[in-house]
Each structure stands twice: as C-alpha cells, then as structure tokens.
C-alpha cells in the first residue's frame, strides 16, 4: 500500500521540534515561521505541554462523551478566563472544518434557514457545508453544493448588509483576517454593521477564528477589534499546539442547548482537553497575547524595510508579506538553502508568516537575516539562469 498522493511536499523529513525550531533526520536545524500551518502556538515540545500530556497519557487517554469528564469543564473555564470572553458554551470537536460544519448546522437548526453568506477568498475547511462556504470551486464536489452560498468582497460591507436584509440566510460566516485567502482584514466598522444587521434579521454571525484565534492576531480573537458578540466562534489550529482539537463557542443568548443536536466520538477526549489546557496555561503564564502583538509589530517594521516587499497585511504574528513576483520558488529556496520555513496563500506573491507566539526578538532578528540572505541568493540565482 502507498499513500494517496494529494500533497506537494518538500524533500525534508522532520523528526524533532524544539521551540521555534524543527530538525530533519540529518540533524539540520530550521527556523519555523510557518508553525505547520499556524498550528504551533506555544512552540514545539514546550516542556509544560510535554509534561501535561505525558502525565495524562499515563492516566487515561480516551473515554467517550457518555461519562463525566471534568477536564472539559476545566478547559471551558480556563478558556473563558484567558480569552476574557463571557456568555458562551463550549462544544469540542477535532478540527477546524468540523468546528465550522457544526457552526453552520447549529445556525440552520436555530433559524430554519439554509442560505449562507460568505466572503470571497474565504476558507472554512473541506467537509461538506464548510467547503461549500469556501470560495474555491476547485475543492467542491457536486455533493457539497447542497445549499445556496453568496460570496461578497471583504471590503464591500454594503453588499453583505443588503444580502442579510433579504432575510433568507441562516448565517454569515467570515474570517476577521483571511488566512489562506491572503491576509486581508475586515474593518471594525464593517464587523459592527454586519453584526447589527444579522441580529435584526435572525441570521447567525459565525466568526471563523480557526487560524486567527488563540492570540495569533495580537488579541485572543481577531474579531475583537470590534465591539461585537458573535453568535458562534469556531476555533482549532492553535488550540492544541499540534494535538488535533477544535471547538465552537456558542453564544448562550442566541442558542439554547438541546441534547443530541450535536455529537462526536473523539471530540473533547481526555488527552485533547489536557493539550488544550496546557496551551492556555502557557499563553497565560508567558503573556503570549502581548508578545504576539508587540513582536508582530516589531517584525512587521523590519520586514517593511526590505525593498522587495511591496505590501504588508495581517496583524500580530499573522503577517502577509507581498512581493512583486510569485514566491513559490523563493519559499522552496528558503527551506532548502536557508533552513527557514514560511507559508504561502492564495495570492501567489504573498509569503505568509505564522511563527509560534512565544518567539523572542532574537528569533525575529534571525528570521530577517535569513529572509534577506534568501532573497539575495534567490535573485542572483534567477538572474544567472535568465
């Protein structure tokens, strides 16, 4: 048997991670400003995380949701404390797509409608409803197109509002900072207008914080630039620092819990809860929301001075650096010749940076040195072969 061939991969086999670094099987050390796609929030193999998970593995890894699991209650309480978000119930799942799938389903259960309003360039996952709400025809099968979706530009709040006013949508789903789409940010004013119109028309506002949440944007959730209270918030990537866990925060004023409406076998298992708790404990103890904001600003200032970078997008440690040429080959060159992992996006010219939230100024300096050296040697190489 061989693996189903669905990914383009770099010819690098990683066998170890430590803080902001990963190591291949030959012992080469790479600076990780990609975090395995925004997943590594507190750094690879953080000692507190390792000890919490190891301790739980020795006790109990899994039991189903048919018995009391107070680790879930501890996680919900810690999440409320560290995020400062109140008036929500938590439902635990295993991934970002699953969180959005349940969010969309819950919205439709709540108001009986089925149309979705989403944003152009948005990404919500690959399960049936989540992928239909994602603006990418290439990843949608005929089976997925089971309900109507209207896509609007992130900067066209009037058309989003007009669409909600038609009164036939069960939900608006959006990312406050579009990750894969290219790091465009919605404004606080637009969020406030959308939220108010959703309330007037019994339409759920779902904030997809799968990538931008958990401190990445410099606040716990990226939507917090606006004074709004979404009906549902979906979360995943940074939540378990690599352990698969996702969740929905459900506004208790919008939804009353009903038994059996939602369910999962693996979601909220003992080990996942402990991974989630360990991440929040480190975010709190090491003041990582503050670090994300301040180091993100510092990093953005240094990147701005690189002449080949034409524009910066994003917030906190979720930075998009737009070049005036496609970055696919530069990104590969950075991995293979400068031991630096970065990310990409739908915008072919954009390098997406998603380092762990606990990087320090010397990691930021090292990144800038590697990036500058990489751009220089890549440009020389392409000029020599032109």
Ligand X SMILES: Cc1ncc(COP(=O)(O)O)c(C=O)c1O
In contact, 316 and 293? CB cutoff 8 Å: yes
Run of H or E residues at 188: helix 188-200
Q: Does 210 bind ligand X (CB under 6 A)?
A: yes
Which of 169, 236, 278, 371 touches ligand X (CB under 6 A)? Answer: 236
Closest distance to ligand X from the beta carbon of 350 (Å): 14
Q: Does 267 bind ligand X (CB under 6 A)?
A: no
Task: Give the span between the Cα atoms of 33 and 353, in whole angstroms.
Answer: 6
Q: Does 95 bind ligand X (CB under 6 A)?
A: yes
Q: Does 125 bind ligand X (CB under 6 A)?
A: yes
Q: Does 135 bind ligand X (CB under 6 A)?
A: no
Task: Give the span between the Cα atoms of 212 and 179, in whole angstroms.
Answer: 7
Which of 49, 123, 221, 255 touches ligand X (CB under 6 A)? Answer: 123
Q: Does 118 bind ligand X (CB under 6 A)?
A: no
Q: Does 276 bind ligand X (CB under 6 A)?
A: no
Q: Does 110 bind ligand X (CB under 6 A)?
A: no
Distance set, CA 32 to CA 17, 18, 260, 306, 314 (Å): 9, 10, 41, 20, 18
Q: Does 208 bind ligand X (CB under 6 A)?
A: yes
Q: Does 175 bind ligand X (CB under 6 A)?
A: yes
Which of 35, 96, 182, 242 touches ligand X (CB under 6 A)? Answer: 96
Residue nearest to ligand X (CB): 96
Task: Give the span between the Cα atoms of 234 and 95, in whole angstroms.
Answer: 10
Q: Name the H helices within 112-203.
A: 128-132, 157-165, 179-182, 188-200
* All residues at 6 or more sequence positions from 253 whose CB lies less than 8 Å from its CB, including other chains: 87, 229
Which of 35, 43, 179, 218 touches ligand X (CB under 6 A)? Answer: 179
Q: Does 211 bind ligand X (CB under 6 A)?
A: yes
Task: Give the span between the Cα atoms of 205 and 251, in whole angstroms.
Answer: 10
Task: Give the span between the Cα atoms of 177 and 314, in whole angstroms.
Answer: 7
Which of 42, 97, 222, 321 touches ligand X (CB under 6 A)? Answer: 97
Q: Which residues bind ligand X (CB under 6 A)?
A: 95-97, 100, 123-125, 175, 179-180, 208, 210-211, 236
């Amino acid at each position: 048997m061989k693996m189903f061939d669905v990914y383009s991969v770099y010819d690098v086999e990683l066998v170890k991670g430590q803080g902001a670094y990963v190591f291949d099987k030959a012992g080469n050390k790479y600076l990780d400003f990609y975090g395995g796609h925004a997943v590594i929030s507190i750094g690879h193999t953080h000692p507190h995380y390792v000890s919490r998970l190891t301790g739980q593995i020795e006790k109990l890894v899994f039991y189903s949701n048919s018995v009391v699991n107070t680790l879930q209650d501890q996680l919900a309480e810690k999440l409320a404390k560290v995020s400062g978000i109140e008036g929500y119930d938590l439902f635990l799942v295993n991934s970002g797509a699953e969180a959005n799938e349940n969010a969309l389903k819950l919205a439709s259960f709540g108001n009986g409608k089925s149309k979705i309003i989403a944003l152009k360039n948005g990404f919500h996952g690959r399960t049936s409803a989540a992928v239909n709400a994602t603006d990418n025809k290439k990843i949608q099968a005929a089976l997925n197109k089971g309900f109507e979706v209207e896509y609007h530009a992130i900067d066209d709040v009037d058309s989003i509002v007009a669409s909600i006013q038609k009164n036939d949508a069960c939900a608006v789903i959006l990312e406050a900072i579009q990750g894969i789409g290219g790091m465009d940010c919605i404004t606080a004013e637009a969020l406030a207008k959308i939220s108010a119109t959703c309330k007037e028309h019994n339409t759920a506002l779902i904030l997809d914080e799968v990538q931008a949440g958990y401190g990445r944007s410099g606040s716990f959730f990226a939507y917090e630039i606006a004074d709004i209270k979404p009906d549902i918030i979906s979360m995943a990537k940074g939540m378990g620092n690599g352990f698969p866990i996702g969740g929905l925060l459900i506004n208790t004023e919008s939804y009353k819990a009903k038994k059996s409406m939602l369910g999962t076998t693996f979601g909220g298992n003992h080990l996942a809860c402990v991974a989630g708790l360990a991440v929040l404990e480190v975010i709190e103890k090491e003041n990582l929301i503050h670090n994300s904001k301040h180091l993100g600003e510092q990093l953005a200032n240094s990147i701005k001075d690189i002449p080949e970078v034409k524009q910066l997008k994003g917030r906190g440690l979720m930075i998009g650096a737009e070049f005036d040429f496609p970055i696919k080959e530069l990104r590969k060159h950075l991995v293979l010749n400068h031991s630096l992992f970065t990310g990409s996006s739908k915008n072919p010219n954009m390098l997406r940076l998603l380092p762990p939230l606990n990087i320090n100024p010397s990691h930021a300096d090292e990144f800038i040195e590697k990036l500058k050296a990489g751009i220089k040697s890549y440009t020389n190489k392409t000029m020599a072969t032109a």
